[in-house]
Structure 1
Amino acid sequence: MPMIIATVMAYVDPEQQAEGQVRITWEVADKFGASLVGVSAFAVEPPFVAEGVIIRETTADDLKRMKSARADKEQWFRSVAGLPEGRVEWRCSVDYPTAFLTNEGAIGRLGGDQAHARKMDQFHFIDPAEAMMRMGRPTLLVPDHVATLNADRVRVGWKDTCEATIAVRNALPFLSRASQVTVVEISTSDEQDTARHRVRDVAKYLQAHAVKCQVDVRVHMAEPDAHQLVRLAKDEGAHLIVTGSYGHSRLGEWMFGGVTRGLLHELPVCVMMSH
Structure 2
Amino acid sequence: MSYAMLMVYVNVDHVSKQLVSVAAGLADKFSAKLIGVSALAIVPPFVAEGVVIVDNASEFQIAQMKTKLAEAGDNFRSAAGAGRQTEWRSALEIPTDTLITEARCADLVVIERNRRSIDFYKVPDCGAAILGAGRPVLVVPGAVKSLTADHVVVGWRDTREARRAIWDALPFLHQAKRVTVIEICENDQKEAARHHVDDVVLYLARHRVMAEGRVETQLLGSGADQIIQLAEDEGADLLVTGAYGHSRLNEWIFGGITHDLLTSSPICCLMSH
TM tier, smaller: over 0.9
Larger displacement relative to structure 2 (164-173 or 104-113):
104-113
The alpha-carbon deviation at position 47 of structure 1 amounts to: 4.2
Q: Cα 1:197–1:18, aligned 2, differ >3 Å: closer, same or farther?
A: same
Residue equivalent to 2:67? 68
1:55/1:210 CA distance change after superposition, 3 Å = closer
Query: Deviation string for 1:74-120 (max 9, x for gaps)?
Result: 111112212546x2111111111000101111322211243x521xx
Residues 50-199 of structure 1 mapped to structure 2, 5 A cutoff: 56-84=55-83, 87-105=85-103, 106=106, 107-114=108-115, 116-118=116-118, 121-199=119-197
- C-alpha change, 1:94 and 1:155, in structure 2 (3 Å) is same
Shift of residue 175 of structure 1? 0.6
Matches within 5 A, 1:216-235: 216-235=214-233
In the superposition, the TM-score normalised over structure 2's length comes to 0.93
Superposed CA RMSD: 1.7
Q: TM-score, with normalisation over the residues of structure 1? A: 0.93
**Which amino acid is the alignment partner of residue 261 of structure 1?**
H
In the superposition, relative to structure 1, how do residues 197 and 64 fare at CA in structure 2: closer, same or farther (>3 Å)?
A: same
Paired with 1:47 and 1:231, the residues of 2 have a C-alpha distance of: 46
Alpha-carbon distance between aligned partners in 1 of 2:53 and 2:179, rounded to the nearest angstrom: 58
Q: For residues 101 and 53 of structure 1, do their structure 2 counterparts lie closer, same or farther at Cα, with a shift above 3 Å needed?
A: closer
Residue 157 of structure 2 aligns with an amino acid whose one-letter code is K
Uncovered stretches (5+) of structure 2, i.e. residues with no partner: none
SS at match of 1:176: helix
2:247 is aligned with 1:249: yes
Q: How many residues align?
A: 269
Q: 1:162 to 1:47 in 2, by over 3 A?
A: closer
Is 1:35 the counterpart of 2:43 in the alignment?
no
The secondary structure found in structure 2 opposite 1:66 is helix
State the alpha-carbon separation in 2 of the partners of residues 151 and 204 from structure 1. Answer: 21
Residue identity opposite 1:148 in structure 2: S
1:128-163, Cα deviation, whole Å (9 max, x unpaired): 111111112100000000010120011100000111
